[in-house]
Structure 1
Amino acid sequence: MAWDWIGFGYAALVASGGITGYIKAGSVPSLAAGLLFGSLAGLGAYQLSQDPKNVWLSLVASGTLTAVMGMRFLNSGKFIPAGLIAGASLLMVGRLGLKMMEKPNDE
């Protein structure tokens, strides 16, 4: 079984962004959202590690963050944190899309 280290790294980035938002600005919504979506992304990475075709939870989490943080980036123009999370989330959506198109291995 191969671990989805990229997925776990993405989950850590999202969770640490929420924690950083709380530490710097005292933002409880940032903390809650970061921990919620980081946990969902981590669970999705675990599921993907167990079954390479089980991309749905990761796809929902990264797709939602792409939309929400992308809009925040467009409205604020600030790369940190909205642009960074939107960009990383968009890359995850692309990666998961490619995983969905892979042909199954005949073992």
Structure 2
Amino acid sequence: MFIYLLLPQLVFCNSSVVQHSDSPLGILAHVTNMSVDWVGYGYAALIATGGVVGYAKAGSVPSLAAGLLFGGLAGFGAYQISNDPNNVWVSLATSGALTGVMGKRFYGSRKFMPAGLMAGVSLLMVGKLSLALLQKPQES
């Protein structure tokens, strides 16, 4: 379900329509190449999928709710980064919160699945976003 909501945005968010009178049908679709945060969208899909799998395997409603909530926030953050590469704050807060929560769960249980995997992937995402934030000069 999540991917069906996300797919049209991925397809159409980077397109702009330019009117040309000499083109057939009167329009020429011109697609611009903005940077799409594919890693961020993949991370969001992983989070949401983890929540759905947790619900399917164990019947855990909190896992489903948390997976969909944090997956939606990560997807929104990836959308913001796709529109403005300097706007990393939602993604950074989401991945930072998941790093802390899932890292604590992994430390307590020592089970790699799912807490260790999510903590590791979230920590990598925090690193990616931190590097992107440090490499880009801020405009004032």
- Scaled by the length of structure 2, the TM-score of the pair is 0.73
**Pair 1:95 & 2:106 matched:** no
Out of 84, 95, 101, the residue aligned to residue 62 of structure 1 is 95
Out of 72, 86, 90, the residue aligned to residue 119 of structure 2 is 86
Please say if residues 86 and 136 of structure 2, whose CA atoms lie closer than 8 Å, have aligned partners that are also in contact: no
CA distance in 2, matches of 1:51, 1:21: 33
Q: Secondary structure at the match of 1:53?
A: coil
* Alignment deviations for residues 2-55 of structure 1 (CA, whole Å, 9 cap, x no partner): 110000000000000000000000000000000000000000000000000000
Tell me by how many angstroms 1:103 deviates.
Answer: 2.9
| Equivalent position of 1:52 in the other structure | 85
Q: Secondary structure at the match of 2:36?
A: coil
Find the structure with the greater CA-based Rg. 2
Q: Which amino acid counterpart does residue 87 of structure 2 have in structure 1?
A: N
Out of 76, 91, 104, the residue aligned to residue 109 of structure 2 is 76
- Scaled by the length of structure 1, the TM-score of the pair is 0.96
Bigger share in helix: 1
| Equivalent position of 1:4 in the other structure | 37
Q: Which has the higher contact order (CA 8 A, sep 6+)?
A: 1
Identity across matched positions, percent:
69
Out of 40, 56, 66, the residue aligned to residue 33 of structure 1 is 66
CA distance in 2, matches of 1:20, 1:78: 17
Structure 2 residues not aligned, in runs of 5+: 1-33
Q: Secondary structure at the match of 2:85?
A: coil
Structure 1 residues not aligned, in runs of 5+: none
Q: Which runs of 4+ in 1 moved over 3 A?
A: none
Q: Which amino acid counterpart does residue 65 of structure 1 have in structure 2?
A: L
Work out the number of aligned pairs and report it: 105
CA distance in 2, matches of 1:42, 1:78: 27
Q: Which amino acid counterpart does residue 45 of structure 2 have in structure 1?
A: A
Q: CA-atom RMSD, angstroms?
A: 1.1
CA distance in 1, matches of 2:49, 2:107: 22
